[in-house]
Amino acid sequence: MFMFRFVVKLHDSMDNVRVFVKSFGCSANVSDGEFLAGCLAGAGFQLVDDLRLAHVVVYNTCGVKQPTEDRVIHELKKVPRDKKLIIVGCLPLINLERLRRETFFDAVAGPALGEGIVELVQRVLDGEKVCALDSAAATKPCLLLPKRRVNPVVGIVPISYGCSGVCAYCCVRFARGRLRSYGIDEVVERVKLDLREGVREVWLTAQDTGCYGRDIGVSLADLLNAVCRLPGRFYVRVGMMTPNFALEILDELVEAFQNEHVFKFLHLPVQSGDNQVLKLMNRKYTVEEFQLILKRFREKIPHITVATDIICGFPGETKEAFENSLRLIRQTKPDIVNVSKFFPRPGTAASRMRELFVPASEIKSRSRKIAALAKETGLLNNNRWIGWRGTVLIDEVGKADSWIGRNFAYKPVVFPNRGSSLLGMFVEAEIVDAAPTFLRGRMLNRT
């Protein structure tokens, strides 16, 4: 078994070694990449933003979907052969065979590498070829490791690694393993550190936040209550949760979401509006239970932003089943619908359902239909915000000379950039226009 130990600084020549780190995929993966960069900088390596300047290239990969895997492989192939290439993250545990067949690398490791990246870089600099995958799906890094944040005002805090699900289409569980939750005190200490360093928006992230704490006797609601007791002016965004786990703690969860620190934003992926398809997916809830969760949240938090996910063309999805998904979106009117086309992923149960596969042309057609409905629904929902006045946290530099902020419901609000630095500021604003995926705002004053 390959074992890591934290190396603070092996020798002075590290100062002259330039490392390029890039992450793909979900917020949990972005957080992993921030830990990697922070540990490397702390050990004396020089981080660079231009791959061409680097001696060592670290790609923190994702392989949740086939198009994502293809894009990552394409990027890996472009790395010059004179660079030391380290591939970490989910893809080495999802499709190592393809990496070996199509790319050239010096080392591979899984996600949650943390401080282990320091020794891994040193070993490849010393000429070793390293495969460090033995315990990759059973570890988790210390939450207080140094970080180099992608966004200085957003603190991405992993609350667990792995999950408790066995979804038929999912290959990420092969990479991230079974559920390993951090203790509430550990998460709170990380949030405290982030707030001291200027963070104003805390993302509690996991493969499934709904199952947080099931392995250690606590719940997501317990964690939210603890984080929200911290002093200061900040928001908390809760990441994706599977409906069946949300249902188990529904009363406590709805109450916790009412705290002023919590963004009124619920990401609850239904994946299909048909109960038979949900059974084939091995999702442990029904359409009716999904609707019940939304009803309970909306009763207590009327302006909550709801995001959901739909997979089009899962094996066995008939035309009638797809119509049920369309009907569910029309009935529940989510603000955001993340639409995915089904692709069979290595090692999954769904990849073996070939007799039930839906033709690719039909999958494409269905995804277009549901995306069009999602766009229509998003615009209708966002139009209701026109005329609203309230506080917005500026949390992102936008495109085309703009700022992007979030209101209490995590609605993205776009403002023209007037030349001053507003990142991390709270402003009073009025919504003057709407698009399917964002609002346009007019700043009134800073608060």
Give one DSSP letter per residue of 242-284, joined into a string: -HHHHHHTHHHHHHHHTSTTB-SEEE---B-S-HHHHHHHT-S
Q: What are the residues whose beta carbons fall under 8 Å from the beta carbon of 435, sequence distance 6 or more? A: 379, 382
- Top CATH class of 12-135 equals alpha beta
Amino acid at 8: V
Residue 134: predicted pLDDT: 80
Q: Which CATH architecture has domain 151-263?
A: 2-Layer Sandwich (3.30)
Q: Where are the strands (E) in 83-126, listed by range? A: 84-89, 107-109
Residue 13: predicted pLDDT: 57
Q: CA-to-CA distance for 153 and 259, rounded, in angstroms? A: 21
Q: What is the average pLDDT score of the chain?
A: 94
Helix (H, G, I), strand (E, B) or coil at 209: helix
Strand order in the sheet with 130-132: 46-47, 18-23, 56-61, 84-89, 107-109, 130-132
Q: CA-to-CA distance for 203 and 186, rounded, in angstroms? A: 15
Say if CB 176 and CB 111 are below 8 A apart: yes
Residue 354: predicted pLDDT: 96
Helix (H, G, I), strand (E, B) or coil at 113: coil
Q: Which CATH architecture has domain 389-446?
A: Beta Barrel (2.40)
C-alpha 286: how far from chain center:
24
Q: Which CATH code is given to the segment(s) 267-384?
A: 3.30.750.200
Say if CB 69 and CB 103 are below 8 A apart: no
Amino acid at 342: F
Please name which of 85, 120, 121 lies closest in space to residue 3, comparing C-alpha atoms.
Answer: 120
So where are the chain's domains?
A: 12-135, 151-263, 267-384, 389-446
Q: CA-to-CA distance for 397 and 328, rounded, in angstroms? A: 35
Q: How far is CA 346 from CA 176, 336, 387, in A?
A: 15, 28, 49
Left (φ > 0), alpha (ψ -120 to 50) or beta: where does 347 sit? left
Please name which of 370, 359, 441 lies closest in space to residue 405, comparing C-alpha atoms.
Answer: 441
Residue 417: predicted pLDDT: 80
Residue 174: predicted pLDDT: 87
pLDDT by residue, tens only, the chain of 447 residues: 233 334 344 444 566 899 999 999 999 999 999 999 999 999 999 999 999 999 999 999 999 999 999 999 999 999 999 999 999 999 999 999 999 999 999 999 999 889 999 999 999 999 999 999 887 667 889 999 999 999 999 999 999 999 998 999 998 888 888 999 999 999 999 999 999 999 999 999 999 999 999 999 999 999 999 999 999 999 999 999 999 999 999 999 999 999 999 999 999 999 999 999 999 999 999 999 999 999 999 999 999 999 999 999 999 999 999 999 999 999 999 999 999 999 999 999 999 999 999 999 999 999 999 999 999 999 999 999 999 999 999 999 988 789 999 999 999 999 988 667 899 999 999 999 999 999 999 999 877
What is the 8-class DSSP label of residue 224?
A: H
- Both structure tokens of 258: 């009412």
Residue 419: predicted pLDDT: 67
Q: Are strands 439-446 and 412-416 parallel, antiparallel or unpaired?
A: parallel
- Backbone φ and ψ for 432, nearest 5 degrees, come out as -110, -15
> Residue 398 belongs to what H/E stretch?
strand 389-398
Residue found under tokens 């209101």: 407
Residue 14: predicted pLDDT: 66
Instruction: Indicate the pTM of the whole model.
Output: 0.93
Q: CA-to-CA distance for 93 and 46, rounded, in angstroms? A: 28
Residue 62: predicted pLDDT: 93
Please check whether the two domains, 12-135 and 267-384, share a CATH topology: no
- Backbone φ and ψ for 274, nearest 5 degrees, come out as -125, 125
Residue 258: predicted pLDDT: 98
- Backbone φ and ψ for 283, nearest 5 degrees, come out as -90, 135
